[in-house]
Amino acid sequence: MIGEALALIAEPLGDAGPRVLARLRGFGPDGIAVAAIGSRAHVLAAVRAPVPPSLRRVHPTWIEHALDQLPERARTVLASGVAGPVDVWLARWATSTLPPVGDLRDAVGWLSSVGADQFAFALGEQARAVPALVAAAVRIAKPPRAGELGPKRAAIERCTDVSLDDDLAFARVACRALAPHLAANQLARLELMRSLPRTLGVVIARELALHARASIDHCPSWAALTAQ
């Protein structure tokens, strides 16, 4: 992302931009300047495009919601392409609330896994008697989850008011565990929400907001949350 920012900053320099970036070669972590040089054309094309290239990774229900209050022509523009200045304006208006969404892995499956881990941790040995939690009970006993799920009392509190009969139980609890990690990263929260059906994304937004102030020391480590 820093490399992409450098590429954009260098754009006003015109033809001198690549030469300036080249002088930064070797500076910064992971060859940031090199990445900027290599991605400059790609980044600029994406920024100038009326429709974000990553729109295909946004769940269709969010796109439909964005189009709901716009003229029918906006729908045609997103489906068929931009034909002129008015179409550019409509396309950018329609997608203004849709952030760039990266190649997220199966977000629903991920949240389900994280939530199941929290329920299994909260229930202890009793979790092995619940069919939906058997796999999680086995997972949390091994690295990188073992010893990295935070205090058990905190997991119990996250799960207390959520019933396993709720289809969104695992997603709710997962977001409560994730919330402090994502509290300062609005883009990450939006990416997660927009990659999922809107009905689920709205629930996720609420849980992330309500639990953002929880102590990160009471949450699973990032390594445990993102474990495969």
pLDDT for res 36: 42
- Which of 40, 67, 101 is the last residue before a domain boundary? 101
pLDDT for res 21: 52
The 8 Å CB, 24+ separation contacts for 27-36 are: 28/2, 32/2, 32/3, 32/6, 33/3, 33/6, 34/3, 35/3, 35/4, 36/3, 36/4, 36/6, 36/7, 36/10
Could you tell me if 44 and 59 lie in one domain? no
Could you tell me if 11 and 81 lie in one domain? no
Could you tell me if 175 and 138 lie in one domain? yes
Could you tell me if 116 and 221 lie in one domain? yes
Could you tell me if 111 and 96 lie in one domain? no
Could you tell me if 150 and 188 lie in one domain? yes
Could you tell me if 22 and 65 lie in one domain? no
pLDDT for res 34: 42
Domain that holds residue 43: 1-48
CA 10 to the chain's CA centroid: 28
Rounded Cα distance, 84 and 82, in Å = 6
Q: What is the pLDDT along the chain (228 residues), one digit of tens a residue?
A: 454 555 545 555 555 555 555 555 544 444 444 444 444 455 545 445 666 666 778 888 988 888 888 888 888 887 777 667 778 778 887 887 776 666 666 889 999 999 999 999 999 999 999 999 999 999 999 999 999 999 999 999 999 999 999 999 999 999 999 999 999 998 889 889 988 999 999 999 999 999 999 999 999 999 999 998
Residue from 102, 4, 110 nearest 55 by CA: 102
Could you tell me if 117 and 201 lie in one domain? yes
